[in-house]
Amino acid sequence: MSGSADVGAMRWSTLLWLATAGGRADRTRIALTAVGAAAGVLALLAAATVAATGEDDGPYTSQLLNETGLHIGIVIALVLLCVPVLAFTGQCARIGAPARDRRLAALRLTGATPADVARVAAVETGLAAALGSLIGLGVYLLGRVLLGDPVTATYERSTEISSNGYLIEDVTGPALRLPTDVLPPVWLIALLVLAVPIAATVFALAALRRVTTTPFGVVRSQRVRPVQVVPAALFVLGAGGMALFAGLVRLTGIDGGVGRVPALVFLLLFLCTAIGIVLGTAAVSARVGEFLARRTGRPALLIAGRRLVAAPFAASRSHSALLVVVLLAAAIQGFRSHTLLSQRQSGNEFYARALDTVDLALVVAGAIAVAGLLVGTIEGVLSRRRAAAALVAAGVPRGVLGRALLLEVLVPVVPATLLATAAGILAARGVMGTTVQESSYSATGRVLRVVETAVPVPWTALAVIAGGTTLATAALTLIALPILRRSADPGELRTA
C-alpha cells in the first residue's frame, strides 16, 4: 500500500495526534483558541438566558434585567461582544504559522494528500474550539450555582393600576444578581455549544482554500491589490444612510419608533459602514504605502511603505474588530448625550446607570479587540523575522526597524479610526436627532411652553475613543519591539 493510501486510511487516533503535535507556539495557539471559544460560548449562553427571561422571573438587583423591554438591547450587546471574541480567535490561529507550515509540508512529503493536510489543520482548530466551548459551558453552569443565592437589594417594581398607567415604587427585599432562575432550553444550549467549534472548523477550512501545501512548503495565493470602489461605496451608503436616517424614515412613511423595519434598515446600514471601513483599511494601506515608497527618502518610512504595499490586508485583518468597537462606541456616546439630555427633567438615574453598564461592556470588547491586535502584531513580527534579520545583517539599525513597525501599524489605523468615530456619531445624531424638546405643564396638565434644546456633540468622549484607540495601538506596538529586536538577530538567517 502506498504512503498516500496509508494516510487516506488515517485513523482518528493518528489524526488527533497529528493535530495536537507541535511545539510551544502550537500549544499556545491551541490554548488561546480555546480561551476565545470559551468567551464566545459564555457570551452566547448569557444572551440566550436574558432572552428567555420573562416578566414573571426575578426580581433582580439590576433594573436592566427587571425591564423586559430592554432585554433585546442586552441580547444584541452580548451578541456583538462575540465579534471581537471571534476576531481574537482568528488572530490566535496565526500563532506559530511558519512552524505549522513546515509540519504540514512534512506530512505531504510522507505521502499525505492536500485533503489529509486540510483535515489535520481543521481538526486542530475544531478540537481547541470544542475544548473552549466545554470550558465556557462549565463556567456558565458554575456561575449559576455560585451566584444563585438572592441578596437583599432595593429595586423598582412596576404595577399596572389602569389601562394607561403604572405604579412604580421602590421595594427592598431579596433579589437575584443575575437571571440564574432562568435556564434556556437544553436544545438551544447544545446548539450554541456546538455552533462555536463548527464555525471555527468551517473558518479554518475556508482559510485553507487559498493555501497550497506542497512537499517543499506552503504557498498562499492571495490578491495583493485590494478593491477600492466597493469599500468606499459601502461606507458612503452606510454612513450617509445613518446620518439621514430620520429624514429617510419620514420620507418613506415607515414608523421610526416601534417598527421592526426601521431597526432592520438601520442594522443593515451599520453593517455596510463597518464592512466598508474594514475593507477600506486595506485600500488605504496600499495607497499610503505607495505614496510613502515613492516620495520618502527616510529608511523607516520606506520600509513601512513597502510592507503596506506588499501586505495591505494585514491591517484590515488585525484591526477589524477594534474598528467595529470604535464605530459602536462612538454611536453609543451619541445616544448617551441625547438620552441624558431628554431625561434630565425626570431626574431618573436609571438611564445613566444603564449607559454606564453599556460603556463597561464596550471597555471589555475593546480590551478583547486590543488583545487580538497584540497577537496579530507579534505574529507578524515573527513571520517576518528572516527578512528583519537580513536587513540587520545588511546594516540597517534595529531602531529603524522599530520605527518602521510603528509606522506600519499606525498609518492605516489613524484614518480608519477617525472615519469610524465620525460615522458612529453621525449614526446616533441621524437616528435620535440633533435637538430635544422639553415641555412645561400647568397644574391641569396643559402644555405651557415647549423649549427646543440642541443636543451637544460629546467631543470629549469622541476624543477619548479616537485618541485612546491610537494610543493603545501604539502601546501594543511598543510591547512588540523587544520581540522584534530578538527576531532581527542575524543568527535567525540560519534558523528562520
Chain mean position to CA 367: 10
Q: What confidence category does residue 199 fall into, taking pLDDT thresholds of 50, 70 and 90? A: confident
Q: Is residue 5 over pLDDT 60?
A: no
- Split at pLDDT 50, 70, 90, the class of 444 is low
pTM confidence score: 0.77
3-state SS, residue 386: helix
Cell numbers for 274, please give them.
463597518
Query: What is the secondary structure of 433-496 as a DSSP string?
Result: -SEEEEEEE-TTS-EEEEEEEEPPP-HHHHHHHHHHHHHHHHHHHHHHHHHHHHHT-TTHHHH-
Q: Look at the chain and report how many structural domains it folds into.
A: 2
Is the pLDDT reported for residue 256 higher than 50?
Answer: no
Quick one: cell of 484?
522584534
Residue 411 and residue 340 share a domain? yes
Q: Is the pLDDT reported for residue 419 higher than 80?
A: yes
- pLDDT over 90 (residue 293): no
Q: Please say whether the beta carbons of 381 and 483 come within 8 A.
A: yes
* Same domain membership, residue 62 and residue 167: yes
Q: Above 90 in pLDDT, residue 137?
A: yes
Min mean pLDDT across 56-70, 245-259, 346-360, 405-419 is at 245-259
Quick one: 126 and 156 in the same domain? yes
Contact in structure between 436 and 456 (CB atoms under 8 Å): no
Statement to judge: residues 188 and 275 lie in one domain: no
Least confident residue range of 68-72, 414-418, 442-446: 442-446
Judge if 256 and 214 occupy the same domain: no
Q: What is the chain's mean pLDDT, rounded?
A: 77
The mean-pLDDT minimum among 253-262, 274-283, 407-416 falls in 253-262
State the pLDDT confidence band at 3, using cuts at 50, 70 and 90. very low
**pLDDT confidence of 443, banded at 50, 70, 90?**
low
CA distance 469 to 319: 10
**pLDDT confidence of residue 23:** 63
Q: Are 73 and 211 found together in one domain?
A: yes
Q: What is the dihedral of CA 385, 389, 392, 396, to 10 degrees?
A: -40
Are residues 201 and 85 part of one domain? yes
Residue finishing a domain among 203, 222, 241: 222
Decide: 353 and 63 in contact? Cβ < 8 Å.
yes
On the question of pLDDT at 366 being above 50, the answer is: yes
Q: Mean pLDDT lowest for which of 48-62, 97-111, 294-308, 416-430?
A: 97-111
More reliable by pLDDT, 131 or 434 = 131
Distance CA 251, CA 397 (A): 61
Give the end of a domain, one of 222, 245, 268.
222
* 228 in the same domain as 206: no
Please determine, for residue 83, whether its predicted confidence score (pLDDT) is greater than 80: no
Instruction: Tell me how crowded residue 444 is: count the other CB atoms within 10 A of its CB.
Output: 5
Residue 22, pLDDT > 70, answer: no
Of the ranges 38-47, 351-360, 477-486, which is most confident?
Answer: 38-47
Same domain, yes or no, for 218 and 230? no
Residue 14 vs residues 8, 46, 198: alpha-carbon distances, Å: 11, 37, 21
Q: Kindly state whether residues 268 and 410 are assigned to the same domain.
A: yes
Please state the rounded mean pLDDT for residues 224-230: 72
69 secondary structure, DSSP code: G
Residues 147, 260, single domain; the answer is no
One domain, residues 462 and 358: yes
State yes or no: pLDDT of 313 exceeds 50.
yes
Of the candidates 372, 405, 407, 374, the residue with the CA atom closest to the CA atom of residue 487: 405
The parent domain of residue 87 ranges over 1-222
Is the per-residue pLDDT at 128 higher than 90?
Answer: no
Cis omega before residue 59 (within 30°)? Answer: yes
- Which three cell numbers, joined as nine digits, stand for 264? 432592520
Q: How many helices (H) and strands (E) does the chain have?
A: 18, 6
Which of 222, 238, 272 is the endpoint of a domain?
222
CA distance 465 to 326: 7
| Three-class secondary structure of residue 280 per DSSP | helix
